[in-house]
Every structure is written in structure tokens, then in C-alpha cells.
Structure 1
Amino acid sequence: MKILLLSAYDADSHRYWHQNLIRQFPEHEWTVQTLPARYFAWRIRGNSLSWAFGEQRPLLEQPYDLLIATSMTDLSALKGMIPNLASIPSVVYFHENQFAYPATDKAHKSVEPQILNIYTAACADRILFNTTYNRDSFFNGARALLKKLPDHVPAKLISQLEERASILPVPLETELFKPVQAHLKALTEWRDNNHKALRIVWAARWEYDKGPAHLLAILEQLEEQNTDYRLCLMGQSFRHSPKEFKLIGERFKHKLVQFGYAESREEYLQWLRTADIFLSTALHEFQGLSVLEAVACGCTPVLPAREVYPALFPEQYLYRCSEDISREATAACAKLTETTAEHETCEPPDVSYISWQNQRAAYDAVLKSTTAKN
């Protein structure tokens, strides 16, 4: 099968997904086109222009058996600009949707990204979401938006899209579930020299939607309580990352064993394998790959009871959320204390169902059934 895969905003999680997808199905002939995950407003609106009238056009004009695109792809415009794409069976994969992002004063308020999500879904044969939370927030948001439009709104559009929708998570690499000994010197020292300290990992993009203000408040309370802990703080930083990260690096230097991006995938996983707890403060999360990876590596999750987390994990791993950051930090610290007390007898939840070993058959069925319908 010849498959064209388009990732219009190729963020780390998107790349993780399509690279492993290709590894799982080497029997197919893959052509992959990506665009960098930057300049969001331009990328989400201009990707069809970049591809249709750029150097990549000859590749997109080739005959394919299947087209797979991420939800950032302006698929409706692309099919119009490159007509042969319109006849190819298509699957759209939603890693996220534009209806469920937390509001920020810095973001340009526009419904265009949401409309583009609807257009792309409308011209796909199959619509895949990584979680039920992602699917439900997309359809609920789309319904609410369409109700605001003045006239000639197609009454059955959402129900038609729902009929084409399925849940198919981003699978984890099967290797994550295999026990591996830590070999890196720094990590071995963290494990051996700080065996009495609570070893906490926080790993996410260094952006406002991952809750840096909440993380700072939690660390301040842990200090006030004289909690014995060490923090491994990882993730991709940016030129304009929130100021809280700089403050954390300055105020909690004595607690930090890692501050910033891990030098390699191996090192990142080794930090997870030698930690006790994975802490999240995310204000938005559609699947939480970093959390799932950490749990697969043996970490016990401590997560806010919002977004996708309540659908993925039992209540015992969740702390109460509040609009008051200080109150939420108090709840998180209490959950950390509770989890620490139970750590020796409480095993991390089982997330093996989301491994490629257990998800490959479902992906294979989607690929085959989509092409069979056309």
C-alpha cells in the first residue's frame, strides 16, 4: 500500500506518533511530508499553500492508496488545490483540537483554527481521536460554535462526522514496558545518594498551558513543609518560556538534579525509571504521553483531576483542582504526601493496553478498512 502522511505542525508528540506508525508497518510504502511546529497562526492557515505551491507538490501529485493527515492540516484546501488528493481515501488524526485549549490574554482570539478543524474533519473518510476527552471536547465545541453562526448552518453535519469518528490512542513503544537497569552515572547517584528523598519528575513543554505557576506554588509549599525531595524538571524550552521556569531554576537549585531538556531519549527514559513520582500540573492535556510513558517506566502519577486524566487514571492518583492556585497546590502536596506514604505498597497503574503490541491490530484494521471502502 502506498501511503501519503502529512503532519502540518510537526510537534514532538506528532513526530513520535508517525515515526512509530511507520516502524510498525514497514510493509507499506510511506511518503511523509512535515512542516515545523512554529508560527502557529501561519502554519495552521498556510500549510496548504506551502505544500500545494511549493517544492513538495510533485510528491503530493503521485498516486497513493491512502492519505493520512494530522488535524492541523488544512485538508479541504489541499484537496482543492491538488485535485488528485480528493480521490484518495483519507484519515485525519486528532492529537488535539482547537476547542479545548485554555484561554490566554496573549493568544489571538480567532475562531478560524476551530473552523479549520471542522473543515478538515468534514472532508475525511475516517476521523481518529487519541482519547474520548479529545473527541467529546471537539464535538461539543463544534456544536456550540455552529449554534452561533447566523444562517445556512448544516443541521446534520456534526452527527455525520460522529459516525466517522473512532478512538485510537497514540501507542507507547513496547520497549518502555521492559525492565532496564540505569547505567548513567548521574542517574545512579540520584538513585543511590538520595534514596531517602522523594524523587519527583516533571516533564512537559515549558509553556503556560502546562501549569508552571502551579508547579512553582507546589514547590514553595513543599519547601515550607520541609519535605525531603529531589526534582528532575525536563521538557522543551522556548525563547519566551514563562518566567516561572527561571524562578524555579534560581530558587530551587538545591533541589534540582536535572533542569532542562534531556540530552538523549535514553537519558530521558533513565530519569523516569529511577524516579518515584511523575507530577503533572497541566492546564490542558489531550492524552498525556509523557505521563503514560512515565507510568510505563514505573513512576506513580500525581495528576490534576481535570482534562483527560480522570478518564485515564483512578481517583487515587488525582488531586483536587481549584481556580485558586494556592489551594490547588495544597491539594497536590497532600496527594504527594499520601502517595509517598503508600509508595512501597502501591504499584503504578497498568497502562500496557496502550502499547503498540496491543494497539497495532486496531491501526491495521483502520488502514485496511478505509482503503477497502473506496
Structure 2
Amino acid sequence: MRILLLSAYDAASHRSWHLGLKARFPRYDWTVLTLPARYFAWRLRGNSLSWAFGERETLSRPYDLVIATSMTDLSALRGLVPNLAGIPTLVYFHENQFAYPRSGRETNTVEPQVLNLYTALCADRILFNSAYNRDSLIEGARRLLKRLPDRVPPGLPEHLAGRAEVLPVPLADEHFLAPAGFDPRHPWRAGNAHGPIRIVWASRWEFDKGPDRLLAILRELERRGLDYRLALLGERFRHTPEQFDTIGTEFAHRLDQFGYAASPEEYRGWLQGADLVLSTAIHEFQGLSVLEAVAAGCIPVLPDRQAYPELFGAQYLYRDCGADIEQEARCAADALISQAQKLRDSGACVPSVERFSWATLGKEYGRLIEQLTGAGHLL
């Protein structure tokens, strides 16, 4: 079976996903085209142009299935490369442009949303990494279509819903493996029965991961006198919210790690040595870093919003207080201190995330691939 996979904005999580697919299904003949995760507006609008005229020979080969990420301008690409129009297509939504929080730097355009809509409409099957992702796209498309002036075909949101399934990004197998031997030089060695509570925060260092909320929580924990150590992991970019610099200075006495881990092994070491994983995100479609931390043995402490309520029970969530960051910080501090006490009393329980393993989800990916290539177009 010959599969063409298109990742039009190949961010780290997208790359991990398609590498996992290739590793899980080595019997298929994979052709993978990717574009770098930079120049967002150009990449979103220009990927069909870049590929249609830069990779035409590759795109014109015979394939049994096309798998594309939602950033791919699939409708334009199928028009520019007619060979693609007759091949069954599966589109994977790691995120959608209807539910992104606004930073204030965006231009007032609906083009990213329209591209998501067109790509979804021309796919034979649409996959989402969470029900929140699916539902926010369908409801966002419904609102957008209502704003358009005329000649809008009826029933498009229902059409999308009929082709949509939720199938999360699986966690790599190594996240479920017990450590082969904890590095004795690691600051967080295995075993933490009586020391400070170890908290890990692992997200991109961007505004949508809530750095202002993280700063407020740390100040609240300081006010309450919790004895803790902090590993602040995640990828840092050239333009980083100022709160991270403030945290680096104001909480230097709490920080054992401040920035990207040097290797995957070191990253897993921080997760395996932590007690709690904290999220402050205002944008989360699946929460892979949280799931990785929980697979490594961390207890999650997460805001009650986006995808998190469908992942974990209420005992692992703190109240979403919207724009009231100080109130939310108090709720998060309550949750962190409560979980810390449970750990000290041996009453804490790490929830299972085995359902997100490749061993579980790989079967569903295989079912869909076989179904699409066996049945052909669903149109």
C-alpha cells in the first residue's frame, strides 16, 4: 500500500505523530512531504503552491491514500495536481483555527478558518485528537457560515460531523517504560518521600500556555509557604512572554530547571522525578506534554477547560476562572497543596493513560487506513 503523508506546518508534535505512524505501519510504502513550522501566514496559504510546483513529480505518483494535516491547503492542492483528486484522503486536525485564543497581534482575517473549512470539506474522513477539537471546529464553522452574506449551502456543519472521528495522537512507547536506571547525577533522583514537592510545567513558552497564570500561581504558593521545587520545561522562542523572565528572576530559589531539556532522555528524567505536573494553558487541544508526564508517574493539576475535562476526572482539575487570574491562582494553589498532602499521606493516585498508547490506538489507525483504501471515496 502506497501512502502520501503531507505535514504542511511540521511542528514537533506533528512530526512525532507521523514518525509514529511510519514506525507503527512499516509494511506500508510511505512518502512524506513536510514544510518547516515557521512563517505561519505564508505557510498556511502557500503550502499548496510550494508543493504543487516544487514537488510535482512526487505528488503525481500513484497512491492508495493521502493523509494530510489540517494546515494543508488540500482543496487547492487537489486542483493544482489533478492526480490527487481521485485518491481517498484522511485529514488529521491536531488543532483548528476556530478555537485559537487571540494574542492581539493577528490581522482581522478569517482566511485560516476558511482554509480549515475547505480542507475538512474535501476530505473523505476527518480525524481530531479530542472531542473538544472536533466540537469547537464544527461550532466555529457554524458561526462563520452564519456571518456570510448569501449563497451558503445548508447543512455543511452536519456534513462535517458525519465524517468526523476522535482519535488522539498516541504517546510514544518510551513514555510507558520504567526508567532503566535513574541517573545519579540528575537533580531529581528517584524517590522523594520527605523532600520538597517536585512540580513540572512542560509547555511551549508562548502566551497561549498561560505564563501570566503560572506567575500568579507561583506567587500564591510562595505566599502560602509550600515547600516545592520547580522544573520549567518546554521550547523557548525568540519572542517569549515577559512573564518567563520574571519567573526566572523572582523564583530562582525554586527552579531546578529553566528551559528546554538537552535530550529526550533528560526530559523524561525530569518527568520521572516529578510528583505533580501543572498546566496553566488557555489553549489545549490534547495536552501531549501532560499525558507524557502522567505516563511517567506525575499527578496532573490542570485547569477545567479545553480538552482537559475529557482526559481526567474532576479530582485532577482546578476551577477555570476566566479573566480573573488571581482567583484562578488561588484555586490552582488549593489543588496543588491538596495533592501534595495526599502524596505525603500516601493517598495520591496517578491516573492511567494506557488508553493513549500506540498499542491501543494503533489498531484504530490501522482500521481507518484499511477502511479508506478498501472502500475508496465516500463522496
The one-letter amino acid paired with 2:374 is A
Shift of 1:106: 1.5
Matches within 5 A, 1:69-218: 69-187=68-186, 189-191=188-190, 195-218=194-217
Q: Paired residue for 1:67?
A: 66
Please tell me whether residue 249 in structure 1 is matched to residue 251 in structure 2: no
- Aligned CA distance change for structure 1 residues 346 and 192 (closer, same or farther; 3 Å): closer
Q: Give 1:102 shift.
A: 1.1
Aligned residue type for 1:348: V
3-state SS of paired residue (1:254):
coil
Q: Which moved more, 1:268-277 or 1:166-175?
A: 166-175
Supply the AA of the counterpart residue of 1:141. Answer: G
2:4 alignment partner, SS class: strand
Aligned twin of 2:39 = 39
2:351 aligns to what? 349
- 1:87 Cα deviation from its structure 2 partner: 0.8
Is the 8 Å Cα contact of residues 182 and 188 (structure 1) preserved in structure 2? no
Amino acid at match of 2:42: W
Measured in 2, the distance between the counterparts of 1:182 and 1:288 equals: 27
Once the 2 structures are TM-superposed, how far is the Cα of residue 164 of structure 1 from its aligned partner? 1.1
Separation of aligned partners in 1, 2:121 and 2:192:
56
State the alpha-carbon separation in 2 of the partners of residues 287 and 196 from structure 1: 32
* Aligned twin of 1:373: 375
Residue aligned with 2:350, SS: coil
SS of residue in 2 equivalent to 1:109: coil
Instruction: Describe the SS at the equivalent of 1:258.
Output: strand
What corresponds to 1:332 in structure 2? 332
Q: Does the 8 Å contact 1:184/1:267 carry over to 2? A: no
- Name the structure 1 match of 2:21: 21
Please show how residues 236-315 of structure 1 align to structure 2 within 5 Å.
236-315=235-314
* Paired residue secondary structure (1:238): coil
1:265, 1:7 → 2: CA distance?
A: 22
Report how many aligned residue pairs link the two structures: 373
Distance 1:316 1:187 in 2: 31
Per-residue CA deviation, residues 166-215 of structure 1 (Å, 9 max, x unaligned), is 11110112332222145334425555689510100000000000000000
* Partners of 1:262 and 1:188 in 2: CA distance: 13
Amino acid at match of 1:330: R
Mark the CA change 1:193 to 1:335 in structure 2 (over 3 Å): closer, same or farther. Answer: closer
Residue type matched to 1:157 in 2? L
Q: With structure 2 as the length reference, what TM-score do the two structures score?
A: 0.96
2:365 — aligned with what?
A: 363
User: In the superposition, relative to structure 1, how do residues 256 and 154 fare at CA in structure 2: closer, same or farther (>3 Å)?
Assistant: same
| Shift in alpha-carbon separation, 1:151–1:174, aligned structure 2, 3 A | same
TM-score when scaled to structure 1? 0.97
Indicate the RMSD between aligned Cα atoms, in angstroms.
1.3
Query: Retained in 1: the 8 A contact 2:183–2:189?
Result: no
CA 1:182–1:255 in 2, change beyond 3 Å: closer, same or farther?
farther
Secondary structure, counterpart of 2:90 in structure 1 = strand
- 2:7 counterpart residue number: 7
Paired with 1:184 and 1:190, the residues of 2 have a C-alpha distance of 7
The letter for the 1-side match of 2:100 is: Y
- 1:170 counterpart SS class: coil
Greater alpha carbon shift after TM alignment, 59-68 vs 158-167: 158-167
Match of 1:340, SS state, is helix
- Aligned mates of 1:33, 1:105 — CA distance in 2: 32
Q: Which amino acid aligns with 2:62?
A: P
* Matching residue of 2:232: 233
SS in 2 for 1:187: coil
CA distance in 1, matches of 2:243, 2:358: 36
For 1:108 and 1:195, locate their aligned partners in 2 and report how far apart those are by CA, in whole Å.
Answer: 51
Return the letter of the residue paired with 1:371. T
The structure 1 segments of at least 4 consecutive aligned residues displaced by more than 6 Å after TM superposition are: none
- Whether the 8 Å CA contact 1:190–1:257 is kept in 2: the answer is no
SS in 2 for 1:180: coil
Contact 1:298 1:348 (C-alpha < 8 Å) held by counterparts: yes
Letter in 2 for 1:49: L
* More displaced stretch, 100-109 vs 273-282: 100-109
What is the distance in 2 between the residues matched to 1:272 and 1:182?
14
Q: Which amino acid aligns with 2:69?
A: T
Pair 1:11–1:222, CA change in 2 (3 A) = same
Which sections of structure 2, spanning at least 5 residues, go unmatched?
none
Deviations 1:58-117 (A, max 9, x none): 111111111000000000000001110111110000001111111221222211100000
